[in-house]
Amino acid sequence: MYLLDIIPLAKIPHTLPQILSYFSGQAKLGQSPAQRGNQTLSIGALVQIPLGRRKEKGIIIGARDIADSKMEIKSANFELRNVNKIISLEPVLTKQQIELALFLGQYYFCSPGIFAKMSLPPKNTPACHPDPAVAGEGSRANARPKFQTLILTPTISRAHSSYESSSSDNSVLWHSELTQKQKNATWLAVKIGQAQTIIGTRSAVFLPFTNLKKIIIEDKTNPNHKSWDMFPHYDSRLIAQKLAKILKSKITFSDKSHALRLREIIPVIIDMREELKGGNFSIFSVDLYEAVKNALTANQQIILFINRRGLANFILCRDCGYVAKCQNCDAPLAHHLINSRPALLCHHCGTKEISPKTCPKCKSWRIKTVGSGSQKVEAETKKFFPDAKILRLDSDSAPKPKDQQKIIADFVAKKADILIATQTIFSWLAELSAAKPQVIGLLSADTLLHIPDFRSGERTFQTIRALQSLRNNAPRPIKGVRHSGFKVPDTLTVSAPLTQRGVGGFFIQTYNPNNSVLKYIRNNDYEGFIKEDMATRQALNYPPFSQIVKLTFRHRDANKAGQEAKILAEKLKNIISNPSPQSIIPAPHQVRGKLRRESETYSSLSVRGGWEGFNPGPGFRVHRSGRPGKPDMTTDGHTNTVELSPALPAFLPREKGKFVWNIIIKFKIENLKLKIGNEFLQHRNSLLQYVPQNWEIDVDPENLL
Ligand SMILES: [Zn+2]
Ligand SMILES: [Zn+2]
């Protein structure tokens, strides 16, 4: 008989051990899968185990002869159960994949089995056990597969364009929208070492690399590297760094927009308040209008950027103040043109409604659209420049990478004069570098600046830099060419200074020209901006000076949602200020070489509905820098290790029919050079243990909204 240590491939409540022990009479653990005749198992083998009343799959990560653990088994207050059956004697995960899954379980405070599951071969992969002489760890030098390179891209479209421009014959593509067949082929090619360049989005980090020597992260500041929209909320950049450490591979970042030298492109910042005063109510300032007109006359190209899709941000009744909102979300419905009919669309849940002609509340006809999106910009541009050929690039006009690529290719081939684009454009910066737009217009910097998040300044800066880089290839403006005799339409009153009139450039329109981010932009002072941004973050304890964990609770009942959130916030506050005297317990999956709690106990121990009735056993470690006997987790200031926000309704207080509440925790990082290590995570997790199962835990959230 043997004792096997197994990671169940399932979500297990975080108050319980994540590695479980089982008996197995059939097999012992061997070094090589070649001994399969004797039913020898390897680390990484796949089994079926009983888990409570369920049956789950599990991965073997260790084994001992039962004779060595007799005392331990006798003194345990639970019974051990048998493994149901062995599904695969040979490993389905490599040792590195197991190590990674265990680390990620600890880092993201979720079951390592969830990550192990993500590393499994896709369904029905034929022959997922290649000959070990070719791909296994014991392979000889002459049979060794060639070096592998992983290129991580933030978006699927970016992956496609990198794949198509890849010169290597042995390149493969990986992302969530591949067919099952394509996934199988890629997975296998990576596993047997046939694939040399692997280009993929975030989940590519879970592929079974055989000889990964290099990882390249494209556009590293792009938030899409994080799984912000799906559980588990992992960050592929962090995983890539861990992977590089485990596999001893090199990691580099390629940042196309930052790498470009921004040649003499001083942006023109246009005060839209002045335009209003001058009677210009259009989306174009006079300066931008004239620059566009002049570029068109000179047969040159223009890019107009707006970071919202649709026609308008929302519709508002001027008489009673009614705003059309989504039935499921507390968000205004955006005004769109769907199949050339005006309609209302919720950007959060996709609900569509017919656009009302009169106010549903007071029947007034004065129901008006507010703000503009890419469709509105297109319509307005057509109005002002009826002869210009216009292309629009957003997720409505081009939902698929192929469609987007076509639009970009057409623009580069000068089949159009004006490209109106949303953020989608940033997936195609490399392709666009072949274009030479004379004018770039950021129609509203305010929609970037006004996102209430500590990263909005940084993101605005990055967006502007990326747009600025597009202007890099433009022909130099012809000096002396000014007003070229076209007529300014009646809707535009000339009031802006004539400095840039008629000359190409990079135009930023804003109602807040004195914003500090724009100040640095104006001076092209990236270092200055970073310095100020870092000082602010340090003062307010934001990353990188802390690690943020966002706790989210959703419920259909408004009262229940708020109440639950307030109760947990109060509970956490008490735990932080009155830690129990016992020493910290390590995270469950950190226990090694000990008998794991048997799964029978699992069902009786599971804590349903939260911490009520659960005895908070472990206390908190007294931080070494703290005074002896005094906890360092307190809520009352910035100098302490943990900072806890009160329970707060989310920025979008109701989403998809549920009320949303957040609690933000900042765990201060005392020594930036040490980064986030094991001790930090244990300390942090000892608090997170008290968060009930029905809460969502997001480590390093992309926003705090
Ligand atoms: Zn009304
Ligand atoms: Zn909605």
HSE value, Cβ hemisphere, 13 Å, CA-based, for 441:
29
pLDDT number for residue 221: 79
Q: Which of 33-42, 447-456, 519-528 has the lowest mean pLDDT?
A: 33-42
Q: Which of 368-377, 412-421, 681-690 has the lowest mean pLDDT?
A: 368-377
pLDDT number for residue 572: 93
Distance 224 CA to ligand 1 centre (A): 39
pLDDT reading at 625 higher than 70: no
Distance 336 CA to ligand 2 centre (A): 14
Distance 657 CA to ligand 2 centre (A): 8
Tens-digit pLDDT profile for residues 31-81: 444 444 456 778 899 999 998 889 999 999 988 788 877 777 777 767 788
Tens-digit pLDDT profile for residues 77-115: 677 888 888 888 888 998 889 999 999 999 999 999 999
Distance 362 CA to ligand 1 centre (A): 4
Asked if 14 contacts 73 with a C-beta cutoff of 8 angstroms, the reply is no
Distance 340 CA to ligand 1 centre (A): 25
pLDDT number for residue 89: 83
Average pLDDT in the 434-459 region? 85
pLDDT number for residue 593: 38
Architecture of domain 268-311+372-523: 3-Layer(aba) Sandwich (3.40)
More confident site: 132 or 375: 375
pLDDT number for residue 636: 36
Q: What's the angle, vertex CA 584, arms to CA 578 and CA 585, rounded to 5?
A: 135
Average pLDDT in the 541-564 region? 93
Distance 455 CA to ligand 2 centre (A): 25
For residue 614, name the pLDDT band (cuts at 50, 70, 90). Answer: very low
pLDDT number for residue 26: 62
Query: What is the pLDDT of the chain when averaged over all its residues?
Result: 79
CA dihedral 126, 132, 133, 137 (to 10 degrees): 130
Average pLDDT in the 352-358 region? 88
Distance 319 CA to ligand 1 centre (A): 5
Q: What is the DSSP letter of 689?
A: T
Distance 360 CA to ligand 1 centre (A): 7
Distance 333 CA to ligand 2 centre (A): 8
Ligand closest to 318 (CA) is 1
Q: Give dist(CA 689, CA 169) in Å, integer.
A: 48
For residue 140, name the pLDDT band (cuts at 50, 70, 90). Answer: very low
Tokens of 599: 């799964």
600 membership: H or E segment, kind and range:
helix 599-605
Ligand closest to 362 (CA) is 1
Tokens of 305: 């950027």
Tokens of 304: 């107009």
Q: What is the pTM of this model?
A: 0.76
pLDDT reading at 260 higher than 50: no
Q: Give dist(CA 334, CA 394) in Å, integer.
A: 15
Ligand closest to 334 (CA) is 2
pLDDT reading at 603 higher than 80: no
Tens-digit pLDDT profile for residues 468-502: 888 766 555 433 333 333 333 433 333 333 344 45
Ligand closest to 329 (CA) is 2
DSSP 2-55: EEEEEEESS---TTS-SSEEEEESS-EE-S-GGGGGGTEE-TT-EEEEEETTEE
Asked if 342 contacts 331 with a C-beta cutoff of 8 angstroms, the reply is no
HSE value, Cβ hemisphere, 13 Å, CA-based, for 359:
18
More confident site: 165 or 125: 165
SS3 450: coil
For residue 446, name the pLDDT band (cuts at 50, 70, 90). Answer: confident
More confident site: 348 or 293: 293
Q: What percent of the chain has a predicted confidence (pLDDT) above 70?
A: 79
Distance 567 CA to ligand 1 centre (A): 39
Ligand closest to 360 (CA) is 1
Q: Where in the chain are the domains?
A: 2-93, 132-258, 268-311+372-523, 540-584+619-699
Asked if 572 contacts 695 with a C-beta cutoff of 8 angstroms, the reply is no
User: Cβ atoms within 10 A of the Cβ of 438, count?
Assistant: 24
Asked if 32 contacts 44 with a C-beta cutoff of 8 angstroms, the reply is no
Residue that the structure tokens 């760094």 belong to:
241
pLDDT number for residue 566: 95
Distance 367 CA to ligand 1 centre (A): 7
Ligand closest to 367 (CA) is 1
Ligand closest to 330 (CA) is 2
Distance 335 CA to ligand 2 centre (A): 13
Which of 191-195, 389-393, 537-541 has the highest mean predicted lDDT (pLDDT)?
389-393
More confident site: 589 or 236: 236
pLDDT number for residue 592: 37
Ligand closest to 364 (CA) is 1
Distance 454 CA to ligand 2 centre (A): 25
Distance 266 CA to ligand 2 centre (A): 40
pLDDT number for residue 30: 53
Which CATH number is associated with domain 132-258?
3.40.50.300
DSSP 34-49: GGGGGTEE-TT-EEEE
Distance 325 CA to ligand 2 centre (A): 8
pLDDT number for residue 328: 81
User: Cβ atoms within 10 A of the Cβ of 26, count?
Assistant: 14
More confident site: 433 or 58: 58
In 3-state terms, the chain is what percent helix, strand and coil (to 5)?
A: 30, 20, 45
Ligand closest to 363 (CA) is 1
pLDDT number for residue 472: 66
Ligand closest to 359 (CA) is 1
Distance 117 CA to ligand 1 centre (A): 53
Same CATH fold assignment for domains 132-258 and 268-311+372-523: yes
Q: Yes or no: is domain 2-93 CATH 3.40.1440?
A: yes
Distance 359 CA to ligand 1 centre (A): 5
pLDDT reading at 591 higher than 80: no
pLDDT number for residue 152: 96
Distance 651 CA to ligand 2 centre (A): 14
Distance 380 CA to ligand 2 centre (A): 27
**Long-range Cβ pairs for the range 157-162 (8 Å, 24+):** 157/401, 157/404, 157/405, 157/424, 157/427, 157/428, 158/218, 158/219, 158/427, 158/428, 159/199, 159/200, 159/201, 160/401, 160/402, 160/405, 161/401, 161/405, 161/427, 161/428, 161/430, 161/431, 162/199, 162/218
User: Cβ atoms within 10 A of the Cβ of 118, count?
Assistant: 17
Average pLDDT in the 523-544 region? 87
Strand 20-24 relative to strand 696-699, pairing = unpaired
Average pLDDT in the 404-425 region? 94
Ligand closest to 315 (CA) is 1
Which CATH number is associated with domain 540-584+619-699?
3.30.70
Ligand closest to 358 (CA) is 1
Distance 550 CA to ligand 1 centre (A): 38
118 membership: H or E segment, kind and range:
helix 112-118
Q: Which of 158-167, 251-260, 271-280, 685-694 has the lowest mean pLDDT?
A: 251-260
Ligand closest to 654 (CA) is 2
Q: Give dist(CA 287, CA 307) in Å, integer.
A: 20
| Rounded alpha-carbon distances, angstroms, from residue 452 to 67, 123, 459, 461 | 61, 42, 12, 15
Phi and psi dihedrals of 45, rounded to 5? -70, 155
Residues with Cβ < 8 Å from 102, sequence gap 6 or more?
7, 61, 112, 589
pLDDT reading at 622 higher than 70: no
Q: Which of 124-138, 215-229, 255-269, 475-489 has the lowest mean pLDDT?
A: 475-489
More confident site: 38 or 539: 539
Ligand closest to 323 (CA) is 1
Residue that the structure tokens 């519709």 belong to:
315
Distance 390 CA to ligand 2 centre (A): 31
Distance 650 CA to ligand 1 centre (A): 27
Distance 599 CA to ligand 2 centre (A): 41
For residue 609, name the pLDDT band (cuts at 50, 70, 90). Answer: very low
Q: What is the DSSP letter of 202?
A: G
DSSP 537-588: HHHHT-TTSEEEEEEEEEESSHHHHHHHHHHHHHHHHHHHHS--SSPPPPPG
Ligand closest to 324 (CA) is 1
Task: Give 433: exposed, middle or buried? Use CB within 10 Å, 0-12, 13-18, 19+.
Answer: middle
Distance 430 CA to ligand 1 centre (A): 47
Q: Which amino acid is it at 7? A: I
